[in-house]
Structure 1
Amino acid sequence: MTKRVVVVGAGIGGLSAAIRLQHAGYAVEIYERLNMPGGKMHQIREKGFTFDVGPTIVMMPSVYQDIFRLAGKDPDDYIPMTRVDPMYQVFFQGDPMREYTVDNDLVHLMKMVEGKGPRNAKGFLDYLSSMYTRYQVAFQHFITRPFRKPSDIYNPFMLRQALKLKTFDSADHMMAKFMPDEDLQHMLSFQTLYIGVSPKNGPSLYNIIPMIELLYGVWYVKGGMHTVAEQMARLFTELGGVIHYGADVQRIVTKDSRVLGIQVDGEMIEADDVVCNADFPYAMKELVNEAKVRGRYTPERIDSMKYSCSCLVFYWGVTGTYESLSTHNFVISSDYDANLRSIFDGSEIKQPSIYLHIPSQTEPDMAPEGQSAFYALLPISELGTAQYEWNEQTVKLYRDKVLDALSALPGLEHLRENIIMERMFTPEDFEREFHAYRGATFGLQPTLRQSNHWRPQAKAKHCQGLYFTGSSTHPGAGVPIVMQSGKICAEELMRDEEGTL
């Protein structure tokens, strides 16, 4: 008899797990509250402009492609990609403003780092070598495997591998050991913010992020990142899976530590197994009612855990085109340390760092002819940390700061007057629209004590037939890593089915 699996949420983790299970012969149905797949990989279309709501950068393209290859499909038929060159521009605020163009051409990179002196040039190459070695260890022994029980990591072999990762240093401090130039340090370490943790206290392992970009490139999917979600949903239905949109899951139904199904709009949907792609902290507080099933993740513990930063994102339709800017642009605060402190202590950010994504630079169809789609993201405090209310005054304060910073970029002197369409997402919007707990866009912070075996795992420890996937579960945040979370989740469910506990 075919086992029936229901998946709560059509986010990338849920889709990744669902495709693998459907392909393996399970009867899988997804129940999604919104009217499209992707979760935070959502999309806004307005007045001829198209914006991705959340993720915008494709790293590790093979991870995206592998799930289509698994089903015997050509990934180019679903998610055609082009390499973004240059990868991005970095602007350091100040007088004068300092500008760098970053690509993954080693000749160009060496010219840039050698311009900072031989110590920085050697340090840069040492950084690449060191991080590549650690990346191989992390991918082989940590990112791709679950941790069901303490002995899965507390054994001589795994402890030796863990020591190779050198996780006790911070990303920022480790980068400074390689390169004394602060621009290079910040250019390469600030990207930990885009998995929700400060480079000041995020484990140094996360310096693999810029290394992956430099070695494997940054890519763009035609139609934007939401295309990935749409095409994964398409693949799932081609395999025979069913997605129910507009289906609000109120509860994961359990009894005597065994999952029975889910409650959707007041109706009981029975299932042999349940995969939950809702944000883990939200799910434990709102969807799971049986205290024994929650185990140590009581409401009090959920509230005491550390959460990633949130994001304030402005989506602007802008008149004109801007050849002096790249598809991806980063504007770094002149008081970088104060900026990071404010994001994570909840105080007002005096001078923010900003990520400006202009998809119409790579794909003109993302905006009407002669116009541009601007996505301006400000890393900001999550709702449990912020010392201010989200109201019109707060939004205006930060909108003005973002516009002041961007108007200093080449060609954007008249940005304010050129905005003809505007939408935004605040931390409250991320909480309301996507059930991101406390508006923390990247879920649980990937601190050392909330990573690997300390992070929520795919298999529920106290409930048979219940599994989790998503950015708050192991191995963590970032689209390719969340896709890996879905893979681990599916493999854990199948492992239990085979009885090989």
Structure 2
Amino acid sequence: MEKLQSKKVIIIGAGAGGIATAARLAKAGLSVTVLEKNSFTGGRCSLIRHDGHRFDQGPSLLLLPKLFQQAFFDLDTTLEAEGVELLQCPTNYNVWFADGENFELTTDLARMKTQIERWEGKDGFVRYLSWLQEAHTHYELSVAKVLNRNFTAFWQLATPQFVWAGLKLHPLHSIWNRASRYFWSERLRRVFTFATMYMGMSPFDAPATYSLLQYTELAEGIWYPRGGFQTVLAALQRVGERLGVEYRLDTPVKQVLMHSDGKTARGVELESGEILEADIVVVNADLTYAYSNLFPQTLPQTAKYSKSLRKRDGSCSSISFYWSLDRKVPELQTHNIFLADEYRESFDAIFDRQTLPEEPSFYVNVPSRIDPSAAPEGRDSVIALVPVGHLLESKGFGTITDGESGISREQDWDALVSRARRAVLSTIRARTGCAPLEQSISHEIVNDPFTWESKFNLDKGSILGLSHSFFNVLAFRPRTRAEGFRNAYFVGASTHPGTGVPIVLAGSKITAEQILDDLRAAVPWRGLPSLIRDQGTPQTSATGKLDKIQRPFWGPILSTIFFGILLYLFTQYMNSFSGRHVRINA
């Protein structure tokens, strides 16, 4: 332990990945300092406040709760012990359509049965259960084969075991294609594919594997931390500080410093000019931004890799409105989805043309519906998130799309923000029948792609980092150990395993373990139970006869023998019939 305490770690960025990695490394005995450019921690999971109204700047719903529980469990504590209270939303979403219909996604199976049969009949519900079974397989295999494993070489994708598991994940199918096998109406296909917006992707491009996201909503529910999403990360931060982590806010980093070999990290230089030495540097800043702006470009391979990253597909950006209302809007639930009539065209506009669709789909969150503390009494706080194309240029770099495939060069963001605002307000009024919201907005805050880029250094304003297309996942995704450098690592949305707070928390475990393994140090939580894998496993210590697990044995064998005999007798009968037919003709 004493040897490890002499090892200094600097973490750049106090987002979900940085906070969790800091606590893990401090638990292992390392001396950890976290540097954050902003005056607050949490990154995109931070809060916005105005006159008694509270808004989640980024994520507003908590999925995969077991991954959150695992992070605290590995640190010898729990969410409850740290004062975090999770509230389950009674309804997952209300999905509003232009024809006046709406669909209520819920964990209530009876309610789902009634709704699905209304649109697709009795067989529709049977197909829904089959879809759930497939999505469950995606979920379990992803946890076992991806979220708890690092990918450091391409050959790891070629092992027979992984290939067999990979085929069951349907990575070469799109979410839309797989959903179309189970849902036969356009309405339900849309209901069960819009969740790709979590990854900033189109359902027509996102790998079918990610149906696991909607599965976890329907199987485990959607949760909200009382007090806002940031309370979870604030709790993790407190755990880290108890273990000795130091946080320095308003401390932007200028560059990662290297030893004389140009390849081994030795610390960082701050924008103020201060030099901080370290044995390990972990980057929780946006990965694409970091490779181009924080790492030295003196090595040819580094400059080439940085350029290639900027050419990779990024996730979408968003125009997000944070509205303080002077009244309540009972027509809106906690989570509301408004889908464009021209569904595919709305995604093509975002991902092919990097703009705002003529008729956008969008998400509306009313945190005060589930947590009254989010707004003053008698009022609501409303967040409207409109997915939109990202910026055409990386920060500090000229565009790399000139001369390519006719992408429009015009991105008049003032006009696009105004059009998005009008579309959101008019659509909510038309589909829910509520009184005009614009008359009740006492204050408005807007985050557009430039805001996401400047506030959080997100390359091109892509709110969820790199895309999750086939060649941007697993061993194809940028690795947790910095490419071409020693003693430098990444954690966050654009490195393995991917985007989304619970996935990033799983990634923090992977990164921390890789650092400790490279240092040949003990991993304190290794060998502890995996809550997300082991919960639901039958108790092997159960001794009661009612609890003994007995898989069917003779039943399947006897059934196989019986049907085999029937098949043999039928074959013999057909052969004898064929022989008589030949003799008669003769």
SS at match of 2:33: strand
| Residue 109 of structure 2: aligned partner | 106
CA distance in 2, matches of 1:469, 1:319: 41
Name which of 396, 405, 415 aligns with 2:418.
Answer: 396
Please list, as runs of the form range in 1=range in 2, the aligned pairs for 1:379-458 lying within 5 A after superposition. Answer: 379-384=387-392, 387-458=409-480
Compute the TM-score of the two structures, normalised by the length of structure 2.
0.82
SS at match of 2:44: coil
Deviation of residue 284 (structure 1)? 0.3
Task: Supply the AA of the counterpart residue of 2:282.
Answer: V
| Residue 84 of structure 1: aligned partner | 89
Question: Per the alignment, do residues 349 and 460 of structure 1 end up closer, same or farther by CA in structure 2, a change over 3 Å counting?
Answer: same
CA distance in 1, matches of 2:245, 2:123: 56
Deviation of residue 86 (structure 1)? 1.0
Name which of 11, 14, 20 aligns with 1:7.
Answer: 11
From the CA coordinates, give the structure whose radius of gyration is larger. 2
Deviation of residue 401 (structure 1)? 1.1
| Residue 192 of structure 1: aligned partner | 196
Question: Per the alignment, do residues 439 and 386 of structure 1 end up closer, same or farther by CA in structure 2, a change over 3 Å counting?
Answer: farther
Task: Supply the AA of the counterpart residue of 1:178.
Answer: Y
| Residue 509 of structure 2: aligned partner | 487
After TM superposition, the structure 1 stretch with the greater mean CA deviation from structure 2, 198-207 or 114-123, is: 114-123
Number of matched residues?
498
Residues 292-348 of structure 1: per-residue CA shift (max 9 Å, x gap): 496486332122111000011000011221223211111111111111111112244
CA distance in 2, matches of 1:293, 1:231: 42
CA distance in 2, matches of 1:114, 1:293: 60
**Equivalent residues of 1:293, 1:462 under 8 A apart:** no
Deviation of residue 31 (structure 1)? 0.4
| Residue 301 of structure 1: aligned partner | 308
Name which of 310, 314, 327 aligns with 1:320.
Answer: 327
**Equivalent residues of 1:6, 1:273 under 8 A apart:** yes
Name which of 260, 270, 275 aligns with 2:266.
Answer: 260
SS at match of 2:41: coil
Question: Per the alignment, do residues 293 and 127 of structure 1 end up closer, same or farther by CA in structure 2, a change over 3 Å counting?
Answer: farther
**Equivalent residues of 1:322, 1:411 under 8 A apart:** no
Please list, as runs of the form range in 1=range in 2, the aligned pairs for 1:160-175 lying within 5 A after superposition. Answer: 160-175=164-179
**Equivalent residues of 1:347, 1:387 under 8 A apart:** no
| Residue 383 of structure 2: aligned partner | 375
Name which of 213, 222, 234 aligns with 1:230.
Answer: 234
Task: Supply the AA of the counterpart residue of 2:461.
Answer: G
Question: Per the alignment, do residues 217 and 88 of structure 1 end up closer, same or farther by CA in structure 2, a change over 3 Å counting?
Answer: same
| Residue 52 of structure 1: aligned partner | 56
Residue ranges of structure 2 left out of the alignment (5+ in a row)? 393-406, 523-586
| Residue 353 of structure 1: aligned partner | 361
SS at match of 1:263: strand
Q: Which has the higher strand share?
A: 1
Residue ranges of structure 1 left out of the alignment (5+ in a row)? none
CA distance in 2, matches of 1:27, 1:402: 48
**Equivalent residues of 2:297, 2:303 under 8 A apart:** no
**Equivalent residues of 1:291, 1:298 under 8 A apart:** no
After TM superposition, the structure 1 stretch with the greater mean CA deviation from structure 2, 105-114 or 153-162, is: 153-162
Deviation of residue 236 (structure 1)? 1.1
Task: Supply the AA of the counterpart residue of 1:336.
Answer: Y
Please list, as runs of the form range in 1=range in 2, the aligned pairs for 1:27-42 lying within 5 A after superposition. Answer: 27-42=31-46
**Equivalent residues of 2:368, 2:381 under 8 A apart:** yes
**Equivalent residues of 2:10, 2:34 under 8 A apart:** yes
- Which contiguous aligned blocks of 4+ residues in structure 1 show a shift greater than 6 angstroms? none
Please list, as runs of the form range in 1=range in 2, the aligned pairs for 1:16-35 lying within 5 A after superposition. Answer: 16-35=20-39
Compute the TM-score of the two structures, normalised by the length of structure 1.
0.96
The Cα RMSD (Å) is: 1.7
SS at match of 2:135: helix
Residues 62-101 of structure 1: per-residue CA shift (max 9 Å, x gap): 211222222222311332101111111110123xx11112
